[in-house]
Chain A
């Protein structure tokens, strides 16, 4: 139980929550507004983080440029997914989108030369040389930020603390941006397409364009989450990008209320506590399980929370019930 008392643990939870929050925001604009069931969202995160890592390690590209290209590749991934499959109806798109993210993961898994394969992001240590890393520039930025922040916050400021602040600032900016977008008439058309294709089309709206744009915006946001994911973990592995991660995002989305962004940060923190905290479930009845079994308990709890939510509060913490259930 000790870890619960340490501020470092909570800061770590905060950082993870923030990254998952950004990730989920991409789903929110796609599903909450556009009704697009994207189960392959984690693929965008994989694309951006791997692109960034490869560009820095193999090609020596500047960190900022590499990160920007990483996000752009995620956007292209979204455009590709949208252009090829968005004409399919809701549930069919969902199936194909899972396939998309799995294809991305398997390509990463099997392209040893490009991605380092199972070993992780090109991090094959070469004897006599330094461990190749893509986070050097980022770490120096973090160190400088630490020097600035320490006089303000005191001793608590460590690497994780700076990371949490940067991640949550980014999330706040993106939340503001998305909530603004969701008040435009663009979002109104997108909301209409969530229910019906024919009506907006008969009023002169190109339904496909609106959907495609929503998928691309969501992918860019997912790509930004991927950059932070890569920087936080400092070592990438294809197993970071299992479809399960997409469903974590879905849990946060539904918990916070899919149709509104304001519940999202709270849901993300709730998820973070459940995700990071469940390893400390050492009390009865969890004490009957060993450590590796307890890791599955967390997935079971997340599943149970989702089921209970769908049954009793489909609109999430803050959503409007009518906007979810009105027929």
Chain B
């Protein structure tokens, strides 16, 4: 085997008396688009926080490219190539739009104070980094706002910026937390277009969280369904529709509404 890029094994974490993730096991194949769906409180975002290192599991292991990562600091996990976006899109409001993107640049010599005395290396990187950031801004269609504070952006633009910033960091595995939630249909198309473009250009693996199966039906290779902190179903999008456990737990109203 190892065309598996991410393996989550029997991971559990509780907050006080609530077991947010309760023995979840799942894996993600290299180059795939895998979606995690589930009702509110299913533990989807907690799962993301565990993978990205924002919280540590009580038990279980998480392997990325075959190596354990569950005890690493978030920035170490990001260094390995797991980059996430945030639910509701987080931007640094008091940095300019282009600075937000440049924040994603990896191995920037200017991030180290020692290189304060090496302006050549710093500036060379900055020029290149800015160029790349502008290119991405053009791709998401907000290059005219480059030097504005990110705090003035609309919700949809913030989502695009969050995604673009994640791309700046050269991810191997991209974790998208509800990229389509609260986004108008026209912008969903735009986001999908950007995602498709990235996918065909770089060999990225996507793991995304969504609320609704419908939203991810067409773009996912595989769908994982979570409920009450566990994985209850796992398979191709179409098979999820027919899965009785899922229908009971989550999509129960679908047939009735048709």
Contacts and interface: CB of A to CB of B under 8 A. Distances in A.
Interface residues of B, number: 39
Contact of A203 (B94, B103, B112): B103
A185 B111 contact: yes
A103 B126 CA distance: 43
B79 A204 contact: yes
Contact of A184 (B73, B90, B116): B116
Interface string B98-125: 0100111110101111001000001001
Nearest to B107: A204
Contacts of A204: 75, 78-79, 106, 169
A201 B78 contact: yes
Interface string A194-219: 11101111111111000001000000
Interface stretch (A3-11, A37-45, A233-241, A319-327): A319-327
A192 interface: yes
Contacts of A185: 102, 105, 108, 110-111, 122, 125-126, 129
- The number of chain A residues touching the other chain, given as a range, is 20 to 34
A205 B107 CA distance: 10
Q: Name, among A185, A194, A205, the residue most crowded by chain B CB atoms within 10 Å (CB to CB).
A: A185
A195 B95 CA distance: 10
B52 interface: yes
Contacts of A181: 113, 116
A64 to B, nearest CB: 22
A162 interface: no
Interface of A: 180-181, 184-186, 188-189, 191-192, 194-196, 198-207, 213, 322-323, 326-327
Given A185-B105, A192-B92, A194-B94, 4 more contacts: A185-B129, A191-B92, A203-B75, A206-B73
30 contacts: A184-B110, A185-B105, A185-B125, A186-B112, A188-B95, A188-B102, A189-B103, A192-B92, A192-B95, A196-B90, A196-B92, A199-B90, A199-B103, A201-B73, A201-B74, A202-B74, A202-B83, A203-B83, A203-B166, A204-B78, A204-B79, A205-B78, A206-B75, A207-B75, A322-B149, A323-B94, A323-B149, A326-B94, A326-B149, A327-B93
